[in-house]
Amino acid sequence: MPVSVPGRRAGPVTALAPAVCQHVGVTMSETSPRLPDACASGRAPAPLRIGPLVVPTPVELAPMAGVTNASFRRLCREMAEAALPESLRPSCPGPLPTPDGGLQAPAGLYVTEMVTTRALVERNERTLAMVRTDPAERVRSIQLYGVDPTTVGAAVRILVEEDLADHIDLNFGCPVPKVTRKGGGAALPWKRDLLAAILTEAVRASEAAVRAVGRARQVPVTMKMRLGIDEEHETFLDAARAAENAGIAAVALHARSARQHYSGQARWEEIARLKEATDLPVLGNGDVWLGDDAVRMMEATGCDGVVVGRGCQGRPWLFADIVAAMHGSPMRTRPDLDAVIEVIRRHGRMLAEEMGEDRGVRDLRKHVGWYLKGYPVGGAARADLMGIRSLDELDAGLARMRSRLPEVVDYPGDIVEGPRGRAGSPKTPRLPDGWLDSPTLDAAHREMLSQAESDVSGG
């Protein structure tokens, strides 16, 4: 089916989501965007169902190394929940059981940074810290990266038996050379037998662990993937069939190949192909920069939900806009500089509470650059803020920056509503020698895969 890539754009408004009013004193405002009929009529999408999980607003924060820690997940979720219709807005933090024993995530799923199964099984201290989630989270979603069925199964058992997760996602979409050159990430689905073995073992391990410890509900396993290695070596349709056979609960597709990395446009028409080819819930990923893009993707492809990655870097309020758009509200978030400054300050304090002031402030630096994209603050102010070492220095640096600018610095518009982060250009995927010779795993590649989880984010 023909699918159009998102057009531009909604009209400008000011301020931030009501969620954040309690923290930064700003609100959403109304605009008149060009919305698909379903959204404009106020009809919400069907809730996404992943095993016992019910997601009335079918959006997911993609795992991003060094970004989606507990503080950022909380910031995104709080803003999203404040934009919910009153009937869906939670009144208290923490899990929200459904009448049939499931769990509800009214404003979407917010997934941890990817961790390696080997590091988890070896009880790596940093990895264990990364899978300890915020008690206020609605659904504890953990993403695993692994290349060995036995190790993946052992990691899944840890998460289930030790009650660390309500949802486990498996990563087969990473295009980073240090991962693909060892046969992992987006390279792995080419080996159909290995992929099937990993998926089957992960589901089996989750179900067995639930029975072993008597957990009240199943812990569904999902997978994220890309189109394939390149245009001549697509894997996503075969991978979806393997997922369905293994009992995977849902699949997410980043509609780019490993060769594309993050360049060019996501091929939404391939999300539509996947939806037509499988009975599993399908989430689409790629080029969702605004709330209305999420609605357009679902309308154009028929997918059951959307996954958001780079679009929310420096823009956690994107989830408020997606919630509003999906539920037919005209409210959108277009913050002026003062509103953004308050979010930066709050984000810094959340990070300091999570990981200590020194580490938290260092972690914030990259976010500051994203937050200020498009605002005319000047290179000197940006450089000044990149050197902050404490919350006091953060406050002082923001004050200096603000004092040099006009009284009102409005939302900059389209300049901040497109691609964020490093898009780059297409890159020939780094693969093990002979990897594409056969879709089944040979002895040499099996031995090589034993080293594939070393030097990968998450341990």
**Do 74 and 205 sit in the same domain of this protein?**
yes
Residue 119 lies in a domain: yes
Q: Mean pLDDT of all residues in the chain?
A: 90
φ, ψ dihedrals at 357, nearest 5° = -65, -45
Residue 159 lies in a domain: yes
Query: What's the rounded mean pLDDT across residues 291-314?
Result: 97
Query: What's the rounded mean pLDDT across residues 252-266?
Result: 95
Measure the CA–CA gap between 47 and 304, rounded to whole angstroms. 8
Determine the structural domain holding residue 71 and report its residue range.
36-329
**Do 151 and 279 sit in the same domain of this protein?**
yes
Query: Higher pLDDT residue, 380 or 4?
Result: 380
Most confident of 126-135, 161-170, 409-418: 161-170
- The residue among 392, 414, 436 that closes a domain is 414
Query: What's the rounded mean pLDDT across residues 265-278?
Result: 98
**pLDDT, tens only, 396-450:** 999 999 999 999 999 998 888 877 666 678 889 999 999 999 999 998 898 888 7
**How big is the chain by its Cα radius of gyration, in Å?**
21
Tell me the pTM. Answer: 0.90
**Do 239 and 203 sit in the same domain of this protein?**
yes
**Do 185 and 278 sit in the same domain of this protein?**
yes
Per-residue confidence (pLDDT) for residue 25, from 0 to 100:
39
Residue 449 lies in a domain: no
Per-residue confidence (pLDDT) for residue 417, from 0 to 100:
84
Taking residue 232's Cβ as centre, other Cβ atoms within 10 Å add up to: 9
Query: Higher pLDDT residue, 316 or 458?
Result: 316
- The residue among 329, 352, 369 that closes a domain is 329
- The residue among 329, 353, 388 that closes a domain is 329
**Do 171 and 305 sit in the same domain of this protein?**
yes
Query: What's the rounded mean pLDDT across residues 227-253?
Result: 98
For residue 82, name the pLDDT band (cuts at 50, 70, 90). very high
**Do 227 and 345 sit in the same domain of this protein?**
no
For residue 99, name the pLDDT band (cuts at 50, 70, 90). very high
pLDDT at position 321 over 60: yes
Domain holding 356: CATH number? 1.10.1200
Residue 9 lies in a domain: no
**Do 386 and 259 sit in the same domain of this protein?**
no
Instruction: Find, among 390, 383, 380, 394, the residue nearest to 341 by Cα.
Output: 394
Per-residue confidence (pLDDT) for residue 24, from 0 to 100:
43
Task: Count structural domains, the chain.
Answer: 2
Per-residue confidence (pLDDT) for residue 424, from 0 to 100:
72
**Do 79 and 130 sit in the same domain of this protein?**
yes
Residue 453 lies in a domain: no
**Do 318 and 352 sit in the same domain of this protein?**
no
**pLDDT, tens only, 341-389:** 999 999 999 999 999 999 999 999 999 999 999 999 999 999 999 999 9
Query: What's the rounded mean pLDDT across residues 295-303?
Result: 98
φ, ψ dihedrals at 203, nearest 5° = -65, -45
Catalytic residues: 174
**Do 322 and 349 sit in the same domain of this protein?**
no
Domain holding 192: CATH number? 3.20.20.70
Residue 170 lies in a domain: yes
Residue 225 lies in a domain: yes
**Do 310 and 342 sit in the same domain of this protein?**
no
State the SS3 of the chain: CCCCCCCCCCCCCCECCHHHHHHHCCCCEECCCCCCHHHHCCCCCCCEEECCEEECCCEEECCCCCCCCHHHHHHHHHHHHHCCCHHHCCCCCCCCECCCCCEECCCCEEECCCEEHHHHHCCCHHHHHHCCCCCCCCCCEEEEECCCHHHHHHHHHHHHHCCCCCEEEEEECCCCHHHHCCCCHHHHHHCHHHHHHHHHHHHHHHHHHHHHHCCCCCCCEEEEEECECCCCCECHHHHHHHHHHHCCCCEEEECCCCCCCCCCCCCHHHHHHHHHHCCCCEEEECCCCCHHHHHHHHHHHCCCEEEECHHHCCCCCHHHHHHHHHCCCCEECECCHHHHHHHHHHHHHHHHHHHCHHHHHHHHHHHHHHHCCCCCCCHHHHHHHHCCCCHHHHHHHHHHHHHCCCCCCCCCHHHHCCCCCCCCCCCCCCCCCCHHHCCCCCHHHHHHHCCCCCCCCCC
Residues above pLDDT 90, as percent of the chain: 83
Per-residue confidence (pLDDT) for residue 29, from 0 to 100:
59
Per-residue confidence (pLDDT) for residue 22, from 0 to 100:
43
Parallel, antiparallel or unpaired: strands 59-61 and 109-110: parallel
Query: What's the rounded mean pLDDT across residues 235-260?
Result: 98
Query: What's the rounded mean pLDDT across residues 180-192?
Result: 95
Residue 459 lies in a domain: no
For residue 28, name the pLDDT band (cuts at 50, 70, 90). low
